[in-house]
């Protein structure tokens, strides 16, 4: 059985942001890919709303540090989302510790640009690179849903939120694997939602589709100093709302879907993109959802 590495902060006074409305009071959540970016923002926001949050990632050193910074209501578990045995061990650990899992956020994902050899266009794509993107983005989400359903179905509530992408709704010529994987996540979300409703499980499943969100993936492309500021302004010109989004913009949308505020919402998709998919003349670029 894979090794589980729980890290709970000893800093009882640590706070990352003000308490919001306590919409997740008493809930236990697992967020994958939580060592940085959107996943980290979701974990921080969940704790602020009263949840106990397990952050998971394969970047163990950073993940442990983030969990420690968040405070006593956060812990870290090492999780390779492509490894089914890993999923079994992590869910078992959470159930043994808390007796339940209320929320799963399937956030872990890769574009393939820096993680594989590529290329990723439809004519020249490298099949090993294609498969790696599919393994992480799609199979990782499928496995998360599988084991979350089993953990949640006997309880009065359960919410799975799958982080898809703007690219799951439109084609991306230079990132065909990424776009296809995120489209599959979007569709699998609906299958999960309908299956749980059909079985009488009180488990909801919805997807979130971010685009143009400023995360560390952008750093190599933006540069530093004045060049960075100019690049951000240029990107903003192609976004109807005029600026790039922040990870917290996605986190707040996820809070809604995870909470009882959305108790009658399942199989839905929520875009967080500054209006890109509303039908503007702006042509989405392949890096818009990093």
145: which 2 tokens? Answer: 């849903």
Rounded-to-integer distance, Cα 49 and Cα 27, Å: 10
Residue 203's nearest CA partner among 73, 59, 71, 103 is 103
Burial of residue 61 (number of CB atoms within 10 Å: 0-12, 13-18, 19+):
exposed
Of 178, 195, 201, 256, the active-site residue reads 178
**What's the CA angle centered on 275, arms 272 and 277, to 5 degrees?**
85
Based on the residue annotation, tell me whether 178 is a catalytic residue of this protein: yes
154, 139, 91, 186: CA torsion to nearest 10: -50
59 φ/ψ angles, rounded to the nearest 5 degrees? -90, 80
Rounded-to-integer distance, Cα 43 and Cα 48, Å: 9
Taking residue 90's Cβ as centre, other Cβ atoms within 10 Å add up to 26
Residue that the structure tokens 């998919």 belong to: 277
Burial of residue 85 (number of CB atoms within 10 Å: 0-12, 13-18, 19+):
exposed
Helix (H) or strand (E) holding 52, with range, is strand 52-57
Q: What is the set of active-site residues?
A: 178
């Amino acid at each position: 059985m894979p090794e589980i590495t729980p890290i709970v902060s000893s800093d009882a006074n640590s706070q990352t942001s003000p308490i919001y409305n306590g919409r997740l009071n008493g809930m236990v959540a697992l967020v994958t890919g939580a060592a940085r970016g959107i996943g980290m923002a979701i974990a921080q926001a969940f704790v602020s709303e009263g949840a106990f949050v397990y952050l998971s990632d394969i970047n163990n050193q950073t993940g442990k540090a983030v969990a420690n910074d968040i405070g006593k209501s956060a812990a870290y578990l090492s999780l390779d989302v492509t490894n089914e045995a890993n999923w079994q061990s992590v869910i078992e650990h959470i159930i043994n510790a808390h007796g339940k899992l209320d929320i799963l956020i399937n956030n872990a994902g890769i574009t393939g640009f820096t993680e594989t050899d590529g290329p990723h266009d439809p004519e020249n794509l490298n099949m090993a690179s294609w498969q790696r993107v599919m393994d992480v983005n799609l199979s990782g989400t499928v496995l998360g849903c599988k084991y979350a359903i089993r953990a949640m179905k006997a309880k009065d509530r359960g919410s799975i939120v799958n982080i898809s992408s703007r690219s799951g709704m439109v084609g991306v010529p230079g990132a065909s694997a990424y776009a296809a994987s995120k489209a599959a996540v979007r569709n699998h979300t609906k299958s999960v939602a309908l299956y749980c409703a059909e079985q009488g499980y009180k488990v909801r499943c919805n997807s979130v589709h971010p685009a143009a969100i400023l995360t560390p993936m952008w750093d190599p492309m933006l540069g530093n100093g004045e060049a960075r500021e100019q690049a951000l302004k240029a990107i903003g010109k192609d976004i109807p709302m005029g600026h790039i989004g922040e990870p917290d913009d996605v986190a707040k949308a996820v809070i809604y879907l995870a909470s009882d505020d959305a108790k009658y919402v399942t199989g839905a998709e929520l875009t967080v993109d500054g209006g890109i998919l509303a039908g503007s003349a702006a042509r989405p670029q392949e890096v818009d959802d990093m």
